[in-house]
Structure 1
Amino acid sequence: MAFFTFNIHTLLYLFLFSFPLFSAATSGVQTHFPPFPKASRFNNGFQRILLSVALGVLTGLTASFLSVLFIRTLLRFLNRTPLLQGPLIFSPKIDADSLQSALLNQTHLLGSSSNPNGKCYKALLANGFTVAVKKLEPIQCGRTEARRRMQQQMAVLGALKHRNVMSLRAYVGEMGSCCLVYDFLPTGSLEDAMRKVRENQLELKWEVRLRIAVGIARGLQFLHFECNPRILHCNLKPSNILLDADFEPRLVDFGLTNLIPDFHTSASLYTAPECLNNSRYTDKSDIYSFGVILRVLLTGRDPIETEQVSSDRGDSSGSGGSLGRWVKQSVEPREALDKSIRGEGMEEEEEEEMVLALRIAGVCTSELAEDRPCSDELLVMLTQLQSF
C-alpha cells in the first residue's frame, strides 16, 4: 500500500511540474510551428516516382509502336508478290517457249493499225493453237513496284471466268512493253460485224442482235457485281467487244485504265458526259457506253457518220450523242430502226421489241448518271424483253 501511495504521489508531482513548462512554452511570443522537412522530401520523391512511371510508359508505347511497324513491314516484304521473269501463263494450251517464239514473229496484224492502245496480232503457236496478241505500247512500267502491280493485276484478270468476258490466257511484260494474249476469234469484233452489215456483207437478224446486247449486259453485270473488287471497263465500245462463231459477245480491254497511266481512253461518242467534264468514271459510265452500242445495234448506223451529219447541221446537244438526237428527231421510233431487218417478213412482236429496246437505250444514255440503270437492272430489262 505504501508503494502504491508513493507511485500516485510521484505521478501527481511529475504532472504538476510539467504543466507550467507546457504553459510557458505555449504562452510565448512565437506561437507558430516550423514546417516539417520530412513532408517536403516525401512530395519530391513522389513526383520523381510519377515522372519515372510516365517516362517508362511512354518508352514502352514507343517501343511497341516501332515493333509493330517493323513486323508489318517485314511481313509485307515477305508476302509481296515475287517479280517473275518471263511470261505469266494462265492456259494449259500455252507454253512459255512457244509463246516467246510466236511473239518474235508477229506479222499478221488484226484490226486497225491506228489504235492508240497498241496493235493486235494473230499468232500461231508450235502446237497449232492460234492466239490473239495485243501489244500495249509504250507503257511506263520500268520501276519494280509498277511491274509488280501490273503482274498482280494480270493474275486477277487471268483468273476471271465468264462466258461474256474474254479470258486472259497469258501476259508478257518485258522491256517496257506489255503483251496480252487471248483466244483468237475469227469472227472479229462487233465493230467489224456492223461494218459488214452496212456494206451488205453480213445479215444480222434482230434475234442475234438482241442476244449480243444481252451478252454485253451479262458481262458488265459480272464485272460490276461479281468481281471483288469490282472492275470497271472504262473503254466500252464495239471494237472492244469480240464475237465468237455463234455471235456470243465477249468483253475485252477491261481493268487496264487505272493500272496503265498511258492507257488511252480518248473521248469518243461512246464516252459518258461526266467523264468528259471531270473524268469521274463509275459503273453508270459503262451503262452509258452500252446505251450507245444498243442504239448502233438497233439502227445499224455508225455514230461517227451521224456525228459528221449533225455537225454540218449545227446540232450540238442532247443525250446519247448525235445518234441519240437523230433517233429523237425521227417522226416515228420505227423509222429509226435498221431497215435491213425491218422487212415485210418481220413479225409485229419483233418490231415492238425493237421499239422497247430503243427506249431502254434512251434511259441508258441519260445525261445524269443517277438516272441510268445499273447493270443488274439493265440485265433484267433485256432478259424480259428477250422473253417478250
Structure 2
Amino acid sequence: MLVGSLCGKVRMTRTRAFCMHMWILVWYICGILSCGDAFQVRKWSINHVTNPVLNGEAQRNFGSSQVIKHDGILGQSPSPSRLPSGYNVRHRSRRLVLGIVFGSLTGLAAAGIVATFMRAAVIYLNRTPLIRGPIVFDPRIGPKVLSFLGQGGCLDEADLVGVGPNGRVYKANLDNGVSVAVKRINGVEAYDALSTSVKRQIQEELQVIGKVRHRNVVSLQAYIRHTNAHLLVCDFVSKESLGDAMKRIRDNQLQLSWPMRHKIAVGIVVGLQYLHFQCNPQVTHCNLKPGNILLDDNYEPHLADFGLSRFIMPNSGAAGYVAPECYQGCRYTDKSDVFSFGVVLAVLLTAKDPTDSFFNEVPGGSIGCWLRRLQQSGKAIEALDKGIIEGGEDQEEEMLMAVRIAVACLADVPADRPSSAELAPMLTQLHSF
C-alpha cells in the first residue's frame, strides 16, 4: 500500500512536469503564430495616407515649402521620398512591438485553455479507484482472511468486548493467529445508497488513517463494507479503556497513583502530537474522550477511533469533551483536540466525570470553569483526587503544575491553547518547572 502511494506521488510529479512543459510549448508556438500574423498585415503606403490638416508642428517638421494645396485642401501627404528620416523605422518598430504583445496575449490565453483541459484530464486519470471487497492496510492480514467478515461472520455475542453509542466491538482470532478488534458501526446510511464521490471520499480518508503507525495509536488494519454497517478491523488492546478505569477509581475498585496517571497523560499527548504534526495530511481525532483511550497491561494509552467521526460517526463527540467552537459551527482543528485533552487531563487529576450533576451547581457549569476558578484563587489542591494526594505529598507541585496545564488547554479561544507539540515537553518535564 505504501509502495503504491509512493509510485502514485512519482507519477503525479512526472505528469505535472509534462503539463508544465506542454504549457510553455503551446504558449511559445501560439505567440510565434500570432506574431507572424501581425507581420503579414498589409504595409501602409505613405502615398495613400492623407491628413486633412497639418498642424503647426507638422509644418515645422516638413517645412512650409512641402505643404501643397490641392483642390483647396491643405496637406496632401508628402511622398515617401520626402518623409523625414526614421519615419518608416518607427512605424515598423511599433508594428513589431504590437505583434509581440498581441501574440504573447493570444499564446497565453491559448496555453491557459489547453492547460486547463490537461489538468482536468490528469485529475480524472489520477482519481482514487473504488476498491471492491475489504481494504487492507496491514501486510499481516490478507483479504481472504477477512472474507468471512463480509457476511458478518465471527461477530458472536460471546466475543463482545465493548459497547459504544455508535456500535459494538468484538474480539476476533484470525486464521493466521492474529487477534484483532472488529468494530461494527451501525446506524449509517447503506453504502450502496451513497454517491460515488462520497464513497471515494470515505475510501481516501480511510487510506490516510490506515497509514498511521505509532505506539500510542490504535492502528486501523482493514475496512470492510457490510450491508448497513461499517466494519473496522483494528489492533486489539487487552486491558480496558481509560473511561472504564476512571469509573472503577470513582467506585473505589481501583487505585492509580500520580506517576501512573502522569504516564497515561504523557502517552495521550504524544499520540496527539504524532497525529497533528507527523502525519501528512494532518489527522485530527475529532472524538477524544476516556472511552476512546485504550490501556494495555502496562497502562500505556492507545488512541482509538481517531479521524472517523467526520464521515462515519458524525456528531458523535462526547458531551463535556467537545470544544466550544465546535458548537458554534467552526471547523474542527488540532486545537479542538487539545481542548478535549484538557478535559481528559482534568479527569485524571480530579477523578470526576465532566457530565456529573455536580458541575451544574458551580459557576460556568463545566469542569473547565470549576478548575480554572480554583486555580486562580490558589485552591487548586482542593480539586485533586484524594487517591493521588495520599502518599504523593512530594509530588504535589507536579500535580498543581498539571492543573495549570489543564486550565491552559481549556481556554475558550483556540489560539490561547498550547499545541500538542508544546504540551509534550511541558508534561514530560513537570519536575523542572
TM bracket (short chain): 0.7 to 0.9
Deviation at 1:342, TM superposition (A): 2.6
Q: Which residue of 2 aligns with 1:272?
A: 323
Q: Which residue of 2 aligns with 1:134?
A: 183
Deviation at 1:131, TM superposition (A): 1.0
Q: Which residue of 2 aligns with 1:238?
A: 290
Deviation at 1:252, TM superposition (A): 1.6
Structure 1 position 288 matched with structure 2 position 339: yes
For residue 147 of structure 1, give the secondary structure of its aligned residue in structure 2. helix
Structure 1 position 157 matched with structure 2 position 209: yes
Q: Which residue of 2 aligns with 1:96?
A: 143
CA contact (8 A) 1:98 1:125 kept: yes
* Partner Cα separation in structure 2 for residue 235 and residue 360 of structure 1: 20
Deviation at 1:56, TM superposition (A): 8.3
Which amino acid is the alignment partner of residue 214 of structure 2? H
Which amino acid is the alignment partner of residue 171 of structure 1? Y
Cα–Cα, structure 1 residues 98 and 111, in superposed 2: closer, same or farther, change >3 Å? same
Residue correspondence of structure 1 range 50-199 to structure 2 within 5 A: 63-102=110-149, 103-107=152-156, 108-113=159-164, 115=165, 117-137=166-186, 138-139=188-189, 142-175=194-227, 177-199=229-251
Cα–Cα, structure 1 residues 294 and 29, in superposed 2: closer, same or farther, change >3 Å? closer
Q: Which residue of 2 aligns with 1:365?
A: 410
Deviation at 1:265, TM superposition (A): 3.1
CA contact (8 A) 1:318 1:324 kept: no
* Partner Cα separation in structure 1 for residue 253 and residue 329 of structure 2: 41
- Runs of 5+ in structure 1 lacking a partner? 1-27, 40-45
Aligned residue pairs, count: 348
TM-score, scaled relative to structure 1: 0.77
Q: Which moved more, 1:117-126 or 1:50-59?
A: 50-59
Structure 1 position 251 matched with structure 2 position 296: no
Which amino acid is the alignment partner of residue 296 of structure 2? D
* Partner Cα separation in structure 1 for residue 143 and residue 70 of structure 2: 109
- Runs of 5+ in structure 2 lacking a partner? 1-68, 81-91
Deviation at 1:146, TM superposition (A): 1.7
Deviation at 1:139, TM superposition (A): 4.2
Deviation at 1:362, TM superposition (A): 1.5
CA contact (8 A) 2:364 2:370 kept: no
Deviation at 1:285, TM superposition (A): 1.7
CA contact (8 A) 2:169 2:184 kept: yes
CA contact (8 A) 1:275 1:281 kept: yes
Q: Which residue of 2 aligns with 1:350?
A: 395
* Cα deviation 1:49-94 (Å, max 9, x = unaligned): x999999888765553443223222222222222111112122332
Q: Which residue of 2 aligns with 1:309?
A: 358
1:338 pairs with one of 374, 381, 385: 385
CA contact (8 A) 2:319 2:355 kept: no
Q: Percent identity?
A: 45
TM-score, scaled relative to structure 2: 0.70
